[in-house]
């Protein structure tokens, strides 16, 4: 697996993104192989392991941005079919209500992350608090609409896989819903 290149930039709306400068951590290699083959059952299993055994999580992945959640790019697929990111949520951070333009799986590494799930009419269907080691609802068919937030008093780190190329990371994931 190829290393990610160094890069840092801001996303419109106040969120920041950083790109890792080292090869994929061995603890994430199996996860990347499952994503490469789009084996979603294996992806869920290996994501669960990565969440419960976060030896890959470095201090810089815990750095947040007071203006909005911060993405740390951990791995870029050499074929540009997916990325693996850690997202740091400081207390009070809230995503807009959105769906996804690509497949997405994520779970919580540290802290408690709140997800509000909406129907097509934007009526709240369900509110879930995910704890460390827990997987969120997968959005493999780009039909889900949700809002994610840190409603607590301490930092949250989540691990995300997106079926998107690195050059579309800031524009090709979220489908904002008004």
Task: Supply the CATH number for residue 138's domain.
Answer: 2.60.120.10
Tokens of 135: 């997987």
> How confident is the model at residue 23, as a pLDDT?
76
pLDDT at 3 (0 to 100): 35
Residue 167 has a pLDDT of: 84
105-110 average pLDDT score:
97
Residue 25 within a domain = yes
**Do 98 and 42 meet the contact criterion of CB atoms below 8 Å apart?**
no
Q: Give how many domains the chain has, as a whole number.
A: 1
Which value, to the nearest 10 degrees, does the dihedral of the CA atoms of residues 9, 56, 69, 154 take?
-140
The DSSP output letter for 167 is G
Pick the closest to residue 34 from 81, 102, 99, 72 (CA basis). 81
pLDDT, tens only, 25-50 = 898 999 999 999 999 999 999 999 99
Please check whether residue 150 is in contact with residue 156, taking contact to mean a CB–CB distance below 8 angstroms. Answer: yes
| Cα torsion 130, 105, 20, 91: sign | negative
| 65 is a domain residue | yes
Q: Is 2 within a domain?
A: no
Domain limits at 132?
A: 7-176
Q: For 139-148, what is each residue's pLDDT tens digit?
A: 888 788 999 9
pTM: 0.85
**Neighbour-count burial for 113-133, b at 16+ CB within 10 Å, e otherwise:** bbbbbbeeeeeeeeeeebebb
Asked, for residue 48, whether it belongs to a domain, the answer is yes
Q: Assign 8 a pLDDT band (cuts: 50, 70, 90).
A: very low
pLDDT at 60 (0 to 100): 94
User: Helix, strand, coil shares of the chain as percentages rounded to 5?
Assistant: 15, 40, 45
Name the least confident of 72-76, 87-91, 163-167.
163-167
Total Cβ atoms within 10 A of residue 34: 20
Domain contains 1: no
Angle between helices 40-52 and 26-36 (to 10 degrees): 160
Q: CB neighbours (10 Å) of residue 151?
A: 15
């Amino acid at each position: 697996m190829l290393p990610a290149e160094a890069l840092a930039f801001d996303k419109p709306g106040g969120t920041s993104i950083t790109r890792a400068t080292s090869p994929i951590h061995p603890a994430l290699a199996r996860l990347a192989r499952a994503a490469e083959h789009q084996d979603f059952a294996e992806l869920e299993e290996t994501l669960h392991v990565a969440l419960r055994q976060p030896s890959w999580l470095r201090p810089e992945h815990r750095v947040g941005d007071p203006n909005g959640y911060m993405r740390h790019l951990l791995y870029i697929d050499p074929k540009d079919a997916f990325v693996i990111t850690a997202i740091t949520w400081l207390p009070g951070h809230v995503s807009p209500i959105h769906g996804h333009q690509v497949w997405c799986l994520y779970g919580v590494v540290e802290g408690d992350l709140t997800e509000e799930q909406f129907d097509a009419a934007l009526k709240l269907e369900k509110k879930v608090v995910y704890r460390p080691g827990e997987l969120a609802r997968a959005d493999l068919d780009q039909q889900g609409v949700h809002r994610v937030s840190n409603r607590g008093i301490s930092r949250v780190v989540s691990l995300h896989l997106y079926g998107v190329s690195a050059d579309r990371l800031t524009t090709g994931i979220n489908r904002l819903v008004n």
